Amino acid sequence: MGLFDRHAGLLEAYRDVRTTGADPFQIRMERVLSPTEAVINGRKTLLVGTNNYFGLTFDQSCMDAAIEAIRAEGTGTTGSRIANGSYSEHVLLEEEIAAFYGMKHCMVFTTGYQANLGVISTLVGQGDHLLIDADSHASIYDACKMTQAEVVRFKHNDPSSLDARLRRLGDRPGNRLVILEGIYSMLGDSAPLKEFIDVCKKYGAYVLVDEAHSLGALGETGRGLCEEAGVLDDCHFIVGTFSKTLGAIGGYCVSNDPDFDILRVTVRSYMFTASLPPSIVASVRQALRVVQARPELRKQLWDNVATLYDGLKAQGFKLGPEHGPVVGVHLPDRMAAVGFWRAMLDAGIYVNVAVPPATPNGVSLLRCSVCAAHTPQQLEHMIEVMTGIGRQLGILSGAPRLRVVAGNG
Amino acid sequence: MPDLGTGEPLLRTAHQLIVENDDIAVTLEAPCQTSRIDVIGEICHHLAPFQASDRPIVGETVIAKDLTIDSLAIMDMVMELEDRFDVSIPMNVVAEIQTVDQLADTILDLRAKR
Ligand SMILES: Cc1ncc(COP(=O)(O)O)c(C=O)c1O
């Protein structure tokens, strides 16, 4: 048996997707022009699938900070924090994130994936119990494979399903750790966090919330769903990423636990990989300042979300359950999703295709992510294009519903 | 931050009460003794949509191989079975299960240990 034989099924499905045109998983951005536009296949394309929620990738102050840091400290750290030491800026960034959350401790990782992978797999071990939402991100699932703890899934966003699983553990020894996400990455829906926290308290379970998609977007000051739901003090661990709202790369975990720092010498994804380069640390520090100084970006983001979500809904598209910076558009199957995606790309609009097994319940989606920097005109154009394609492909049926589309822009 | 290591007596009482209530609910719904037939029947019911050919689903059916079900759908089915029979099957245990028989045995074992 050849090394790749086990992937035969996937290879075949992937070939189907590729042979009929552009490959949705290997798009080349020939030139990125701004947070909302790039040149793809030689044409200027609107970007609505890049998780760039505040559009900070081209923020002048963040770019300047990064350039200055490269000149001052070079391009890379060439090793991990435990081997090569921390630069002052790593420590300052950690202090600033901790202060942002009002927590005592923060650890920064080279990606959010590594933060989840390392922290979750290290917090629980043999004899402990890890309870994860069924729709958890791949980084959380991968952490489950790296721990000796018993892992049980509960139904997505269903506190009573978590309650049943914690109840069944009864008096069995071992810590309970529950993993939730602020905003889920495929359909843009939020966890009923308050209800989940109540269940966790009832059974004395620890809670870790991944705010990857909610940092900046939710909460009075952008701290995410934990802040929005008023339960910051009840969340034992908050994980997040610099790769979305903050427009760079990297991950973090904050906590008030007095022993938190022991993770610096136990979490392998922190210890055995190079630390973030000075330019990234500098731009992230600046981006965090921008998030705090410019709350209007949050409002612009949600205004844009309303424009896109309500506009698509009015045209009859089946969407995720609620407004969110991610707008998931349901399509009947994998090939319909790929076909729709390709037609959109031909029309100059880039979104993501999300198909099984990467999606919950085997759904096929066009995954759109909204940016504060999108103009209402860009989004209205997108709705028009999608409506046209939807009708051509027979996905939108019947006469268009006559309804005024409110563009809150 | 609360000290989660120590159980609070008040919570414990409430927790015990709920267990009892739920047990009554389960007793009302299903016979006390869950038979192997019931469990197999329930599993087959969940697997029916994934039947690949005319071959019936039996105890020896290898779930991931003989049927068109993918790994995520298997985990989702397990979640339904967990709630139906009021047991939790850890993911690493699910990963070891191959056949309908093995899944049924796992559920019955876990029920017996409750
Ligand atoms: C929910 C969730 N957690 C973690 C990550 C990982 O983030 P990063 O891109 O920093 O590795 C992502 C992004 O893909 C995500 O969607």
Q: How far apart are CA A294 and CA A214, in angstroms?
A: 16
Say what the pLDDT of residue A407 is: 46
User: Hey, of A136, A155, A158, A168, which one would you mutate to test binding to chain B, going by the most B CBs within 10 A of its CB?
Assistant: A168
B92 touches chain A (CB under 8 A): yes
How far apart are the C-alpha atoms of A272 and A76, rounded to whole Å?
Answer: 16
d(CA A163, CA A158): 9
The type of residue at B112 is: A
| Residue A185: how many other CB atoms lie within 10 Å | 24
Amino acid, single-letter form, for residue A367: R
What would the mean pLDDT of A379-406 be, rounded to a whole number?
Answer: 81
Per-residue pLDDT tens digits for A215-245 = 999 999 999 999 999 999 999 999 999 999 9
From B48's Cα to the closest Cα of chain A, the distance in A is 17
**Could you give the CA distance from residue A312 to residue A306 in angstroms, rounded to a whole number?**
10
What CA–CA distance (Å, rounded) separates B52 from B73? Answer: 15
Q: Please check whether residue A60 touches B, CB under 8 A.
A: no
Q: Is the pLDDT of residue B4 over 70?
A: no
Question: Which chain B residues contact residue A175 at CB under 8 A?
Answer: 4
pTM across the whole model: 0.90
> CA of B70, closest CA in chain A: separation in Å?
8
**Residue that has been written with the tokens 């612009």 in this structure:** A300
Strand partners, A178: A131, A207
Residue A139 CA to residue A364 CA, distance in Å, equals 21
Say if residue B3's pLDDT is above 60. no
The confidence score (pLDDT) of residue B8 equals 37
> Class of the B36-112 domain?
mainly alpha
Q: Going by CA atoms, what residue is nearest to atom 3 of ligand 1?
A: A212
Mean pLDDT of B85-100: 96
CA-based nearest residue to A327, from A375, A377, A382:
A382
A168: chain B residues, CB-CB within 8 Å: 86-88, 114
pLDDT at A4 over 90: no
Spatial distance between the Cα atoms of A12 and A19, rounded to a whole number of angstroms: 11
Residue A256 class from Cβ within 10 Å (0-12 exposed, 13-18 middle, 19+ buried)?
Answer: middle
* pLDDT tens track for A316-332: 999 999 999 999 999 99
The answer to whether the CB of A272 falls within 8 A of the CB of A120 is: no
Beta strands A37-40 and A349-350 are: unpaired
Q: Which atom of ligand 1 is nearest to the CA of A116?
A: 4
The closest alpha carbon to B105, from B91, B77, B83, B85, belongs to B85
Q: Is some CB atom of chain B closer than 8 A to the CB atom of A2?
A: no
- What pLDDT sits at residue A353? 94
